[in-house]
Amino acid sequence: MLTHETRTAEDGCALAIAIVNTVREPLIVLDQDLRVIAASRAFYRTFKVAREDTEGQLFFELGDGQWDVPQLRALLGKILPEHGTIEDLDIEYESLSLGRRTMSLNARQVVYEGSPESTILLGIEDVSDRRALEAEKNELLAEKDILLSEVRHRVANSLQMIASIIMLKAKRVSSEETRTHLQDAHNRVLSVATVQQQLQVASGGRVDIGSYLSKLCTALAGSMIDDDRAITIKVAGEGGTATCREAESIGLIVTELVINSIKHAFNFEKKNGQITVAYEVSGDDWKLSVADDGCGRPAGQFAQRKEGLGTGIVNALAKQLDAVVETTSGPQGTSIAITHAVFTAKKVRAA
């Protein structure tokens, strides 16, 4: 005679199977021995198998044994004893009817109230087309990165050639003012070329800012500091990562400020010293600073007596990065901080 608890368990099982049959994706219900208790209509339709050849069979013996994969066998074996799950496990499935396909599997334990036995609900999704599109997308992105790297390389070489031509012109002109302007143009063109060169290795991904700034400052020191001047450039801070576009703006800001310090902070009164470039990260917030121990400058300016092209470039790049520029200067030198605006807003609210 059936008890109320038994009827309840059977009714619950029947309801569960009825629900499984209505689901559009292939589903299988397995017992503790990994034999098929039931499968959805979508399973039979997708894999072109008959009910009588499926129910009561070991899951790994279905079809031609396509599911008998060591990794899947091990994971299914852990679900009931260890209350484990399978999440988005890709299995390469191949049969005469379907050909080679990629199936994504998800499985977890199902417990019926009043029943001493547990079952496993296994969902199967054909993700072959999706994975093919993802592979195609990744291939296209890789090709884009190669092309972008080539473009950066060509741009850097072209800019260096232009910088060389400008310097030749600067040496030939008789006007000191014109020579100064040409040398300034040469430095800026060369700085853009340097940034492009340092970004080549990181195209398409996130840039390690610490390593990027170290290489950039080494290049700047080699091209901008004369042999008779003992000026060093130090990179400090914990660093972090940024997109290529963000890194390019950061690199141009650093280049502009470093060139500015070399030109104006170490001139008549103090020809030697150190420039420190630091980049600090806190979550999504960051702070870039360029400081020197040079002769200092009046408040409100970078280093020159009036705001010029360099000031405008730095302010424009900082605005693109949603950052603010803050400068301090005194007898011990000048420090310029570019802080992500979100971080600044948090500090203001906290105060």
Task: Identify the pLDDT of residue 329.
Answer: 83
Q: Is 170 exposed, middle or buried (0-12, 13-18, 19+ CB in 10 A)?
A: middle
CA terminus-to-terminus distance, the chain: 75
If one counts every other C-beta atom within 10 angstroms of the C-beta of residue 327, the result is 16
For residues 59 and 34, the answer to whether their CB atoms sit within 8 Å is yes
**Phi, psi for residue 107 in degrees, rounded to 5:** -145, 150
Superfamily for the 206-351 domain: Histidine kinase-like ATPase, C-terminal domain (3.30.565.10)
Task: Identify the pLDDT of residue 187.
Answer: 73
Structure tokens at 322: 């949603």
pTM of the model: 0.52
* Closest C-alpha to 229, from 189, 188, 185, 261: 261
Q: How many helices (H) and strands (E) does the chain have?
A: 9, 12
Greatest pairwise CA separation for the chain in angstroms: 115
Per-residue pLDDT 10s for the chain (351 aa) are: 434 444 555 555 565 566 666 677 899 989 889 999 889 888 988 888 888 989 999 999 988 888 888 999 899 988 888 888 899 999 888 877 778 889 999 999 887 665 567 889 999 998 988 888 998 998 887 787 777 677 766 777 777 778 778 878 888 888 888 887 887 787 777 777 777 766 665 555 678 888 888 888 887 787 777 766 788 899 988 778 888 788 888 888 998 898 888 888 876 566 678 899 999 888 778 899 999 988 776 554 554 444 566 788 888 889 988 999 998 887 788 899 999 866 444 544 454
CA–CA dist 256, 258 (Å, integer) = 6
Does the domain at 4-126 match CATH 3.30.450.20? Answer given as: yes
Q: What is the DSSP letter of 240?
A: -
Structure tokens at 119: 């079952």
Task: Identify the pLDDT of residue 1.
Answer: 42
Dihedral Cα 277, 283, 285, 286, nearest 10 deg = 0
